Amino acid sequence: MTYQDTTDQGPPLRIESLVKSYKARMAVERLSLTVAAGQIVGFVGPNGSGKTTTMRCVMGLARPDSGEIEIFGHRPGSPEALALTGAAIEEPALNTALSGRDHLRVAARWSNATGSRVDQTLEAVGLADAAGLACGKYSLGMKQRLALATALLKDPPLLVLDEPGNGLDPAGLRDVRRLLTRLRDEGRAVLLSSHMMGEVEALADQLVIVRQGKPVYLGALEGLAEATGLADLTGAFLALTEPEREEGAK
């Protein structure tokens, strides 16, 4: 399969004017973004800014109040969209007695993935040597790798990843960076949230910054310096997401 072949159905992911609230709290307010084939879009913002809520809407786990979401032209949560998407947006529910390999074997049955994909994904995320270890003995970083392996089982053209580097040591971060770069170069699309600005800067082709559910920047990384007058990503991020702090410092 070549992943560009699916683009005649529409871009891998299109979000238009997404609105989602919980009771009196606005979680996402008129968010629009597109993730193209062969592109990693960094999705960043402070805690509580609507990133995970947006990803839950993309996967059909939450229903938007208004707006449109399309995955290769299909509605979120539909069989067609789910078949084309791999996601790691919440800590996976693990049977602590199962080995990492057996966890993936169970997941493979649910996702109609072939048995050979289990060993392929274990190798891809660097868990092959720990595949026989019970999940209950996995560190946080190993659980993150297992979640990424689960997302890759269907060999999907679109990946939706919430903090995939959380809990990883420097070697683990390097491995995930290499993996995501390879997947992008194969033509896949990736929506990636992270609090690690260095990882976002190393990986992202486009950047979406949100604050209190609202987009405050959408564009190329190199355009951020011009928009904020700040050269480093962390400083620009803080200037856009904490304007009251910037004003107080002047």
**Res 219: pLDDT:** 92
Q: Domain end: 106, 123, 155, which one? A: 155
Average pLDDT score, the chain? 88
**Res 105: pLDDT:** 93
Burial of 58 (0-12, 13-18, 19+ CB in 10 A): buried
Provide the domain count of the chain.
Answer: 2
Lowest mean pLDDT among 4-8, 92-96, 135-139: 4-8
Please tell me which residue, 248 or 233, carries the higher pLDDT value: 233
**Res 135: pLDDT:** 92
212 and 183 in a common domain: yes
pTM of the model: 0.90
116 and 18 in a common domain: no
pLDDT digits (tens, 9 = 90+) for 151-184: 999 999 999 999 988 888 898 899 999 999 999 9
Q: Domain end: 138, 155, 172, which one? A: 155
CATH number at residue 162: 3.40.50.300
- Please give the DSSP secondary-structure letter assigned to residue 6: G
Average pLDDT over residues 89-93: 76
Domain extent, residue 161, equals 3-84+157-249
Q: Hey, what amino acid is at 160? A: V
